[in-house]
Chains A and B, each alone.
Chain A
Amino acid sequence: MISPDSVQLASVPVLDEDQIKLLETSAAGDRAFLKDLLDTFVYESQLRLKSLEEHLRTADKKTALQDIHFIAGSAASIGLNRFSFFCRKVEEQLRGGFSLSSELPGRAAAYHSEGVRTLRERWG
């Protein structure tokens, strides 16, 4: 059973400052848009995290890979650096044929919450 290294993850910043600044610049101070963007991410990513958990449970590797790839890309787009990094590691391990730790969905949810909470503190 393999799981992304917590020590390595701790050194990865929670937010991707460059990406967040890009979003904030392109939003031109439109806080409502940024909040809406984050709400959309939260809704979709929670659906896909549930889907991932289910597909890992039923050993549907192909669909689990689609789930984790989607979540990692979406998280990177909104600047959730550590959560996206975690998901990319999971994706690599799934592609490598490793079986994943049963604790993985819980850890994914924790990194997701950490990122969303940090971004909400910034965007309201």
Chain B
Amino acid sequence: MSNTILIADDDPVMIKLFEFNLGKAGYKTVACREGSSVLSSTLESHPDMVIFDLVLPGRSGLELIKDFRSHAKLAAMPIIVVTAQGRGSTKDALLAAGADCVFTKPFSPSLLLAKVEELLARQSREGGVL
């Protein structure tokens, strides 16, 4: 069974890029454009990983990381954050809050896919999420 990845980005160009690259690599994707719907979409669709933009309408990426890490069922969910803000302090804050990895836009799809694979393999070794 292929892994499912939830993508949250308010930019449909980014969503199409994620869907295209992840789909080509054999992953199923679920997309949402609102930060405020990420948690409910995750609980509904049971993804194996989430990838979201730092700046989302309704709820920021930083708030979402905290939501996931404090949620009984979602605390172990692998989280990748993508951001246009390349500052080291932003990246450090996201990693300190519990993101597994941070990509600064624009980024290489092949590097993203390699990280997705690595995090899913780790997740599989340590047990499922939901």
Contacts and interface: CB of A to CB of B under 8 A. Distances in A.
A76 B14 CA distance: 11
B16 interface: yes
A79 B107 CA distance: 11
B17 A76 contact: no
A77 B84 CA distance: 9
A76 B13 contact: no
A73 B11 CA distance: 9
Interface in A25-45: 26-28, 33, 36-37, 40-41, 44
A26 B13 contact: no
B105 to A, nearest CB: 6
Interface residues of A, number: 23
A62 to B, nearest CB: 12
Q: How large is the interface on B (under 10, 10 to 19, 20 to 34, 35 or more residues)?
A: 10 to 19
B20 A33 contact: yes
A77 B15 CA distance: 11
A22 interface: yes
B10 interface: yes
A56 B1 CA distance: 50
Given A70-B11, A74-B11, A77-B13, A16 B20 contact: no
Interface of A is mostly: helix
Contact of B14 (A33, A72, A74, A79): A74
Contacts of B24: 28
B13 A40 contact: yes
A22 B106 contact: yes
B40 interface: no
A40 B12 contact: yes
Name which of A19, A44, A73 has the most chain B CB atoms within 10 A of its CB: A73
Interface in B9-61: 10-14, 16-17, 20-21, 24, 55, 57
Interface string B97-117: 000000001101110000000
A116 interface: no
Given A40-B13, A73-B84, A26 B105 contact: no
17 contacts: A16-B106, A22-B108, A27-B20, A37-B13, A37-B16, A40-B13, A41-B13, A44-B12, A66-B57, A70-B10, A70-B11, A73-B11, A73-B55, A74-B14, A76-B105, A77-B105, A77-B106
